[in-house]
Structure 1
Amino acid sequence: MKPKIYITRKLPDAIIAQLSEVCEVSMWENEEEPVPREVLEKEMQQVNGLFCLLTDNIDKSLISQSSQLKIISNMAVGYNNIDIEAATEKGIMVTNTPGVLTETTADLTFALLMATARRLIEASDYLHEGKWETWSPMQLTGQDIYGATLGIIGLGRIGEALAKRAKGFDMNVLYYNRSRKFVAEEQLGIHYVDKETLLKESDFVCVLVPFTPETKNTIDQNELALMKPSSVLINTARGGVVNEDALYKALINNEIWAAGLDVFEVEPVPSDHPLLKLPNVVALPHIGSAGINTRIKMASLAASNLIEGILGRIPKHLVNS
């Protein structure tokens, strides 16, 4: 008899076929809506493996109800949606999907930087709303990118990939990380500085740290106060690393110039969120890794992780070893 697994959102047929070779597959068929809590609770009690997404809250209560679960495979790099401690206590493996989304997320981060700096959404709306009647010297002017200073907070894989893109725009790249990356400094021509210096000197600040208790509110009132009035903040990491109330106040008080956000503390972000009302905020619905090929690679890697765990092997991308 094949081991049973549950998938919390509809996946491409090729991924289902990959899993079905080894497992008996059940799946929440709705592509747009998360699996209801009561359905997930029922499934967790009878499956050996769980394939979940960042939108699924796999908390201690859910994990405690699972009697046969061997592995939770998260289709994401981050795993703050899973109670790792509770899973570890029950001997349940937890895996993630690092690496495959690096370049795609770096693409989106730089695209968001450009869209925010050059006011692309605002300009497009201006055109579609019939407001473009003439040309004037300072009409819809934004911040120059070429030759500007980029500060990267968190120089992981995505941070290094972003630095490569920035060098193509002849940007001066500063970075702050919990440990220095001497090889990256030499290869990319980037410079390590403390966080205060980075915030003071950067024209663009990109936050790329994972979300942990230590990184919560990495950007808060004090950090925003250090930034230039002409600077732009970009967050494609996790919503919790930026204090949204402090960011809103900094924007309306002209302490910084603009912000580009792909992530929020609460997702989906409510449509009446104050930040969404500001013209100098470019907001996206967490699409950092949303390249077609990348998402398929992520799903396939998550499936491979799950299969390894189900078969009693140690998956390559185990996060609670």
Structure 2
Amino acid sequence: MKPVLAITRRLPADIEARANADYDVRINEGDKPLDRSAILALAEGADAVLVSVGDPIDAAFFDALPASVKIVATFSVGTDHIDLQAAARKGIVIGNTPGVLTDATADIAWLLMLGAARRASEGEAEIRTASWSGWRPTHLIGTQVTGKKLGIIGMGRIGQAVARRARGFDMEVHYYNRKRLSADLEFGATYHDSIDALLPHCQFLSLHCPSTAETRGMVDSSFLAKLPKGAILINTARGDVVNDGDVIAALKAGILAAAGLDVFAGEPNIAPEYRSLPNTFLLPHLGSATQETRTAMGTRALDNIDACLAGKDVPFPVGA
């Protein structure tokens, strides 16, 4: 008999084919988010569970998880949707998918940066609604990206990839990270030993930090007040590092010229005022959404499950 694998969301076709070849798969065919009780029902009698961002894999989930489950693999790098301490108490292995999202997410950060700076949402809306009245000297004037100062919070793989791309735009890059990087990984960027020291240098600010107790709600009114007036905010990290009310107020007041956002607190139920603001460039969490990246993520998720159920070390483990 094949081991039983519960999967909470639909996956790329080649990943589903591999899963079906090796496992007795139970999958959420509807592909809409499941609540805790529905995921637990799917996991009844399973040997492994493959979850995704937004699934409520909290302490209550692990308390009720069937004893048959040995591993919870997540189709993500981030694990803020998983209570890692509760998993450790229950003896459940957790695996994630690091190292394969870097370029896709960095590309999206740059799409957001350019789109927000050059008022791309407003321009596209004029084309789609046939409301463009023609070229004129004062039409949709945005902010130039080339030669500006870019700040990066979180200089991990994705932050470094964003910094590398910034060199092609002759940007002056500044960054904050918990530890300073070696010179070969800084790409000429200037290190700041605190976020407060970084912020005055950020005409553009790109967030690449995890969601933690320290970072949740970090981007609030006092944070935004330390940026140069008219800065542009980019977020491809996690939605809850931003205080939505304060960012929306800053966008209305001109403290921020624009924001490019791919992630949101409570997504898909985002703060509705974002939709009505002309100076937002908004995407539905597309950071890793390329065929190559999603396939690589699925491969790593299944590699984690294969190894665990074979009694081997998981290649991409996550500890509490």
TM-score bracket, shorter-length normalisation: over 0.9
Q: Does the Cα contact within 8 Å between 1:151 and 1:202 map onto a contact in 2?
A: yes
Q: Does the Cα contact within 8 Å between 1:184 and 1:190 map onto a contact in 2?
A: no
Q: Does 2:240 match 1:249?
A: no
Q: Does the Cα contact within 8 Å between 1:87 and 1:93 map onto a contact in 2?
A: yes
Q: Does the Cα contact within 8 Å between 2:35 and 2:56 map onto a contact in 1?
A: no
How far apart are the structure 2 equivalents of 1:36 and 1:195?
Answer: 36
Alignment correspondent of 1:309:
308
Alignment correspondent of 1:261:
261
Map 1:183-202 onto structure 2 (within 5 A).
Answer: 183-184=183-184, 188-193=187-192, 194-202=194-202
How far apart are the structure 1 equivalents of 2:36 and 2:197?
Answer: 45
Map 1:281-296 onto structure 2 (within 5 A).
Answer: 281-296=280-295
- Structure 2 residue matching 1:63: 3-state secondary structure: helix
Query: What letter is aligned with 2:177?
Result: N
Q: Does the Cα contact within 8 Å between 1:19 and 1:307 map onto a contact in 2?
A: no
Query: What letter is aligned with 1:98?
Result: P
CA deviation profile, 1:191-216 (whole Å, cap 9, x unmatched): 10232232112110001001111211
Q: Does the Cα contact within 8 Å between 2:36 and 2:57 map onto a contact in 1?
A: no
Cα shift at 1:21: 4.4
CA spacing shift, 1:12–1:132, aligned 2, 3 Å: closer
CA spacing shift, 1:201–1:68, aligned 2, 3 Å: same
Q: TM-score, normalised by structure 2?
A: 0.94
How far apart are the structure 2 equivalents of 1:152 and 1:128?
Answer: 34
Q: Does the Cα contact within 8 Å between 2:50 and 2:74 map onto a contact in 1?
A: yes
Map 1:1-321 onto structure 2 (within 5 A).
Answer: 1-31=1-31, 33-65=32-64, 66-184=66-184, 188-193=187-192, 194-270=194-270, 273-320=272-319
How far apart are the structure 1 equivalents of 2:231 and 2:63?
Answer: 46
- Structure 2 residue matching 1:181: 3-state secondary structure: coil
Percent of matched pairs sharing the same residue = 38
Cα shift at 1:253: 1.4
Cα shift at 1:129: 2.7
Cα shift at 1:52: 0.8
How far apart are the structure 2 equivalents of 1:181 and 1:306?
Answer: 33
Where in structure 1 are there 5+ consecutive unaligned residues? none
How far apart are the structure 1 equivalents of 2:304 and 2:47?
Answer: 13
Cα shift at 1:185: 5.2
CA spacing shift, 1:50–1:181, aligned 2, 3 Å: same
Where in structure 2 are there 5+ consecutive unaligned residues? none
CA deviation profile, 1:286-308 (whole Å, cap 9, x unmatched): 11111111111111111111111
CA spacing shift, 1:277–1:8, aligned 2, 3 Å: same
CA spacing shift, 1:189–1:248, aligned 2, 3 Å: same
How many residues get paired? 318
CA spacing shift, 1:71–1:257, aligned 2, 3 Å: same
Cα shift at 1:247: 0.5
Q: TM-score, normalised by structure 1?
A: 0.94
How far apart are the structure 2 equivalents of 1:184 and 1:20?
Answer: 43
Query: What letter is aligned with 1:155?
Result: M
Query: What letter is aligned with 1:150?
Result: L
CA spacing shift, 1:12–1:124, aligned 2, 3 Å: closer
- Structure 2 residue matching 1:257: 3-state secondary structure: strand
Cα shift at 1:16: 2.9
Q: Does the Cα contact within 8 Å between 1:150 and 1:174 map onto a contact in 2?
A: yes
How far apart are the structure 2 equivalents of 1:203 and 1:3?
Answer: 53
Cα shift at 1:36: 4.8
Q: Does the Cα contact within 8 Å between 1:59 and 1:81 map onto a contact in 2?
A: yes
Q: Does the Cα contact within 8 Å between 2:153 and 2:208 map onto a contact in 1?
A: yes
How far apart are the structure 2 equivalents of 1:137 and 1:296?
Answer: 45
- Structure 2 residue matching 1:58: 3-state secondary structure: coil
CA deviation profile, 1:69-93 (whole Å, cap 9, x unmatched): 1100000010111111111101001
Q: Does the Cα contact within 8 Å between 1:160 and 1:184 map onto a contact in 2?
A: no
Query: What letter is aligned with 1:312?
Result: G
How far apart are the structure 1 equivalents of 2:256 and 2:136?
Answer: 25
Q: Does the Cα contact within 8 Å between 1:44 and 1:62 map onto a contact in 2?
A: no
